[in-house]
């Protein structure tokens, strides 16, 4: 992910990659050589992208903020709620941008869906993937489901009244499959499923509100709207070019830094998504402890 991020920023005219830092010196040197920058020093940097294992997010992001660097950190923002709260507070104290890499917010299909939603009542998300070693340092909730948790929170945006969850271990010693039901104080209900042991990748989101149903295939770039109009059922399909969500995320980060404004996916957003993800993970583990 660090390499991908570096390439997106290197392609921009309003930003310059001045350093690549990695515990693997040879890997850092190879990328730095290709991008025409140094492999170690952060002396010239004004901002940083942190794409290290989740357990290292807190230390690395904190050090960057202490140096006065604006930060874009991969999701989840930190490994614990306390760490996330400390990072958000530090960024506010230093008046620095802290953006969290919930990249699906920049998916053009989701943007088109969100623009049409006014009062979601039921949200269903399904995110399935084959097993990949990258991301296996955390459970499937923090690895995959947290993407949809963030999307749901951005759509519903109300106080949570109840959460229930179940899940199982399959290939790792942690949760590989999970399902969560989230109820909001305004009556909206969300059902989220995530798996990292599936054969075919799936990234689908379905949203229901009065007189409108929207189905989104976030991977294929397709939207289907079904609404009631003048006593009849009207159905419409749209295809959105996939675009480059990672590049759009980089653009948003640079814009926030240059304009000194709060990012679209802020540290507070990352904190809220992490809080709910940790709650889901805890409920799954409690259920596994009771029922095996």
pLDDT in tens, 68-119: 999 999 999 999 999 999 999 999 999 999 999 999 999 999 999 999 898 9
- Please tell me the distance from the alpha carbon of residue 167 to that of residue 181, in angstroms, as a whole number: 12
Taking residues 260-277, report their average pLDDT.
96
Radius of gyration of the chain (CA): 20
Helix (H) or strand (E) holding 71: strand 70-74
Helix axes 267-291, 81-94, angle to 10 degrees: 170
- Please tell me the distance from the alpha carbon of residue 77 to that of residue 60, in angstroms, as a whole number: 11
For the 104-242+276-291 domain, the top CATH level (class) is alpha beta
Q: State the average pLDDT for the chain.
A: 93
The band of 232, judged by pLDDT with boundaries at 50, 70 and 90, is: confident
The band of 280, judged by pLDDT with boundaries at 50, 70 and 90, is: very high
CATH 3.40.50.720 applies to domain 2-103+247-266 = yes
Q: Residue 211 above 90 pLDDT? A: no
Taking residues 226-251, report their average pLDDT.
88
Q: Which pLDDT belongs to residue 134?
A: 60
**Least confidently predicted of 21-35, 72-86, 129-143, 239-253:** 129-143
Q: Which pLDDT belongs to residue 91?
A: 98
Sign (positive/negative) of CA torsion 228, 104, 71, 256?
negative
The two domains 2-103+247-266 and 104-242+276-291 share their CATH topology (first three levels equal)? no
Answer for the pair 144, 194: CB distance below 8 angstroms, yes or no.
yes
Q: Residue 276 above 70 pLDDT? A: yes
Asked whether the whole model's pTM tops 0.75, one would answer: yes
Instruction: Tell me which DSSP letter residue 124 carries.
Output: E
Q: Which pLDDT belongs to residue 135?
A: 53
Q: Please report, for the chain, the start and end positions of each structural domain, with discontinuous segments joined by +.
A: 2-103+247-266, 104-242+276-291
Q: Which pLDDT belongs to residue 228?
A: 81
Q: Residue 18 above 60 pLDDT? A: yes
- Please tell me the distance from the alpha carbon of residue 25 to that of residue 55, in angstroms, as a whole number: 20
Taking residues 147-161, report their average pLDDT.
93
Q: Which pLDDT belongs to residue 133?
A: 66
């Amino acid at each position: 992910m660090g390499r991908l991020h570096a390439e997106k920023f290197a392609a921009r005219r309003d930003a310059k990659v001045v350093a690549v830092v990695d515990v693997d010196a040879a890997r850092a040197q190879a990328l730095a050589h290709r991008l025409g920058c140094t492999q170690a020093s952060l002396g010239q940097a004004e901002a940083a992208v942190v794409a290290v294992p989740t357990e290292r997010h807190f230390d690395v992001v904190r050090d960057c903020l202490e140096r006065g660097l604006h930060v874009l950190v991969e999701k989840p923002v930190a490994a614990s709620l306390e760490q996330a709260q400390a990072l958000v507070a530090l960024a506010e104290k230093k008046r620095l941008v802290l953006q969290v890499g919930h990249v699906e917010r920049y998916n053009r299909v989701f943007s088109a869906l969100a623009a049409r939603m006014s009062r979601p009542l039921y949200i269903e998300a399904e995110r399935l993937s084959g097993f990949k070693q990258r991301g296996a340092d955390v459970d499937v909730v923090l690895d995959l489901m947290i993407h949809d948790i963030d999307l749901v929170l951005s759509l519903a945006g109300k106080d949570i009244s109840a959460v229930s969850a179940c899940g199982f271990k399959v290939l790792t010693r942690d949760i590989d499959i999970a399902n969560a039901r989230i109820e909001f104080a305004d009556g909206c209900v969300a059902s989220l499923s995530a798996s990292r042991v599936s054969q075919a990748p799936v990234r689908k989101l379905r949203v229901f509100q009065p007189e409108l149903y929207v189905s989104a295939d976030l991977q294929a770039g397709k939207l289907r709207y079904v609404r009631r109009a003048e006593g009849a059922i009207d159905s419409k399909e749209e295809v959105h070019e996939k675009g480059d969500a990672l590049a759009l995320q980089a653009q948003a980060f640079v814009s926030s830094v240059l304009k000194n404004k709060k990012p679209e996916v802020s540290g507070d957003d990352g904190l809220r998504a992490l809080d709910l993800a940790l709650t889901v993970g805890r409920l799954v583990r409690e259920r596994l402890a009771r029922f095996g």
